[in-house]
């Protein structure tokens, strides 16, 4: 489903993508590689949404949060696995990271069980890889343990003995230095001032640097046994790493499959968490209508909840083109956005937050109204931006395109604007596109022979008793007085309530009264 930046922002698609973003890197990769559902993907989209709804009902909400935290903690082991598969040498940090992967998957599986997940869908665990790494694991860490190569223990014991012998020799030289020069060499290097001591240095001490006034000396322990032991340890450790890497390589297919499964699980759990937060239904995806009952435009509901304001769930049955009218601040734009948002949910395999829904998997959603960043970059005026969008929309319009029109041509002369809107709706109808057209122009639906719905609007007399206060108080009052439901326009005419709202929003009362008089005179 294509949606440009303006549309994605207006219909909450950008918000939705963030809301269902996977927790971990595997999920993000999986998500990036999963195409958005289009008109030919009804069965797959339906199956995914049904799966999400079932899991949202089955899993505990806290458990899902814990599962997502566990997913977030799964380390990115893909580069190590790829190198192991290619036969590259691995190092101890690589083995440590694989150990972390094993632990993280075990923790994830535990979280799945605790959340009440079904056993046949349990996330994968890597027991074979755990067994491979086990000799080197003590808790969460990793050490290339003696058990990884038959000669390692003996080589290390020999090195420890050689180191101890070298230390004894070093200490003997240090004693000679103390006796001859009176200096206690704490480290291997020390300084001998010539005016303190300018004689021959004790055996085992070499000069690192010489100046007219001092010598820098170092205790040099010749320890060929230690060097040989070190070389042998190095050789044995590399042998152990090669053998271990080969065993890891044999597990890479299993690890790859596990990480892919993690990606799918992460995507699924992101949708489950969303559904548990916002509710969601399994929609019909027949594509012949866009209808929903008690739907929530989650991005707006989220903002309203944060401000303590109520959100009214919306219902609509859109078959082809409909014109939406209603008062200012009545939620016409929100109704448009809700329609696009629910279709976007279906396209992303997310249960639409509604009691019931019948939706279409679309090729594109197009928002016309106002100007977006691309329009501003092209230095288009608001009107020009809308017209250019309308032009492009007619090129793209089809039965699998949803056009959301928000007060098209409001910035031009009302008579010409209205005429242009009617003609545009007719053109959309000819192309059998879905369209919901919000406008304040009168009689558009009748002229374009389109279905007419309206926002129910301010409850009778609800604004009359209210006084203008500060803006927040006024907005709260309007929110309480407004009936945001979408109803059939045949059930009664709507007014814009523009003057009452202007008064409540604090416009000078004399101005409002004068406007009211002018309006009444025109009537």
Partner 1 sequence: MTAAARSVVVVGTAKNAGKTTTFNALRAVAARRGVAIAVTSIGRDGEPADALDAEPKPRVRLAPGTIVALPAGLVPRSPALAILDAGGASALGTTVFARVVLPTTCEIAGPPTARAMRATIERLRGLSTGPVFVDGAIDRVAALAGGGDAVIVATGAASGATIARVAAVAADTVARLMLPGRDPQREHARVIVVAGALDARDAEELLADARDATVVVEDPTRIAIRGALFAKLRAAVDLRCERPLRVVACTTSPVGRETALSPRALVEAVARATGLPTFDVVADLAA
List residues near partner 1 by CB under 8 A. 91-93, 95-97, 100, 138, 140-144, 156, 159-160, 163, 183-191, 193-194, 208-209, 211, 213-214, 216, 230, 233-234, 237-238
Q: How far is Cα 306 from Cα 290, in angstroms, rounded to an integer?
A: 29
CA angle (158 as vertex; 152, 164 as ends), nearest 5: 135
Q: How far is Cα 387 from Cα 332, in angstroms, rounded to an integer?
A: 21
Which residues share a beta bridge with 405?
Answer: 368, 437
Pick between residue 119 and residue 211 the one whose CB is nearest to partner 1.
Answer: 211
Q: How far is Cα 339 from Cα 335, in angstroms, rounded to an integer?
A: 6
Pick between residue 159 and residue 285 the one whose CB is nearest to partner 1.
Answer: 159
Residue 303: partners with Cβ closer than 8 Å, 6 or more residues away: none
Residue that is written with structure tokens 């739907």 in the block: 295
Nearest approach, Cβ of 88 to partner 1 (angstroms)? Answer: 14
Q: Fill in the DSSP letter of residue 442.
A: T
**Contact present, 436 and 339 (Cβ < 8 Å):** yes
Nearest approach, Cβ of 242 to partner 1 (angstroms)? Answer: 12
Nearest approach, Cβ of 412 to partner 1 (angstroms)? Answer: 51
Nearest approach, Cβ of 96 to partner 1 (angstroms)? Answer: 4
Nearest approach, Cβ of 357 to partner 1 (angstroms)? Answer: 45
Q: Read off the tokens for 353.
A: 């937050």
Pick between residue 230 and residue 427 the one whose CB is nearest to partner 1.
Answer: 230
Q: How far is Cα 312 from Cα 331, in angstroms, rounded to an integer?
A: 10
Pick between residue 232 and residue 485 the one whose CB is nearest to partner 1.
Answer: 232
Pick between residue 209 and residue 378 the one whose CB is nearest to partner 1.
Answer: 209
E-strand ranges in 305-432 read 314-318, 321-325, 356-358, 364-368, 401-406
Pick between residue 183 and residue 494 the one whose CB is nearest to partner 1.
Answer: 183
Nearest approach, Cβ of 67 to partner 1 (angstroms)? Answer: 22
Pick between residue 194 and residue 459 the one whose CB is nearest to partner 1.
Answer: 194
Q: How many CA atoms does the CB half-sphere of 382 hold within 13 Å?
A: 9
Nearest approach, Cβ of 191 to partner 1 (angstroms)? Answer: 5
Nearest approach, Cβ of 184 to partner 1 (angstroms)? Answer: 5
CA nearest 110: which of 56, 69, 161, 147?
69
CA nearest 477: which of 487, 486, 467?
467
CA angle (69 as vertex; 251, 35 as ends), nearest 5: 70
Pick between residue 149 and residue 362 the one whose CB is nearest to partner 1.
Answer: 149
């Amino acid at each position: 489903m294509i949606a440009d930046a303006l549309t994605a922002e207006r219909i909450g698609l950008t918000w939705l993508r963030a809301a269902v973003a996977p927790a971990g890197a595997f999920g993000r990769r999986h998500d990036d590689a999963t195409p958005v559902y289009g008109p030919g993907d009804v069965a797959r989209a339906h199956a995914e949404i049904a799966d999400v709804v079932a899991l949202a009902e089955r899993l505990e909400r806290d458990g899902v949060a814990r599962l997502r935290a566990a997913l977030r903690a799964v380390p990115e082991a893909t580069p190590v696995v790829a190198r192991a598969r290619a036969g590259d040498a691995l190092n101890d940090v690589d083995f440590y990271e694989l150990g972390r992967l094993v632990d993280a998957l075990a923790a994830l599986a535990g979280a799945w069980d605790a959340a009440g997940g079904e056993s046949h869908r349990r996330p994968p665990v890597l027991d074979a890889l755990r067994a491979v790494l086990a000799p080197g694991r003590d808790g969460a860490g990793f050490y290339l343990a003696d058990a990884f190569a038959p000669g390692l223990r003996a080589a290390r014991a020999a090195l420890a003995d050689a180191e101890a012998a070298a230390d004894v020799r070093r200490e003997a030289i240090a004693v000679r230095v103390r006796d001859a020069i009176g200096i206690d060499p704490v480290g291997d290097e020390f300084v001998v001032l010539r005016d303190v001591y300018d004689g021959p240095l004790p055996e085992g001490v070499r000069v690192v640097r010489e100046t007219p006034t001092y010598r820098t000396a170092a205790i040099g322990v010749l320890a060929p046994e230690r060097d040989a032991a070190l070389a042998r340890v190095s050789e044995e450790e590399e042998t152990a790493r090669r053998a271990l890497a080969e065993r890891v390589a044999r597990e890479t297919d299993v690890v790859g499959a596990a990480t892919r499964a993690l990606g799918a699980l992460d995507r699924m759990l992101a949708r489950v968490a969303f559904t548990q937060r916002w509710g969601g239904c399994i929609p019909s995806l027949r594509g012949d209508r866009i209808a929903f009952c008690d739907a929530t435009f989650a991005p707006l509901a989220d903002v309203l909840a944060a401000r303590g304001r109520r959100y009214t769930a919306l219902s609509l049955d859109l078959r082809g083109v409909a014109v939406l009218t209603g008062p200012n601040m009545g939620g016409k734009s929100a109704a448009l956005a809700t329609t696009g948002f629910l279709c976007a949910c279906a396209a992303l395999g997310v249960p639409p937050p509604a009691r019931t829904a019948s939706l279409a998997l679309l090729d594109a959603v197009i928002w016309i109204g106002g100007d977006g960043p691309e329009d501003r970059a092209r230095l288009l005026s608001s009107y020009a931006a809308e017209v250019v969008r309308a032009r492009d929309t007619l090129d793209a319009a089809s039965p699998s395109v949803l056009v959301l029109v928000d007060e098209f041509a409001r910035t031009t002369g009302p008579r010409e604007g209205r005429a242009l809107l009617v003609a545009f709706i007719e053109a959309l109808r000819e192309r059998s596109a879905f369209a919901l057209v919000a406008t304040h122009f009168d009689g558009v639906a009748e002229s374009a022979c389109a279905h007419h719905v309206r926002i129910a609007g301010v409850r009778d007399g609800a604004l009359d008793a209210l006084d203008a206060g500060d803006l927040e108080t006024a907005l709260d009052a309007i929110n309480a007085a407004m009936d945001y439901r979408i109803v059939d326009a045949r059930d009664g005419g709507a007014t814009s309530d523009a003057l009452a709202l202007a008064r409540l929003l604090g416009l000078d009362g004399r101005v409002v009264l004068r406007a009211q008089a002018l309006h009444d005179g025109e009537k």
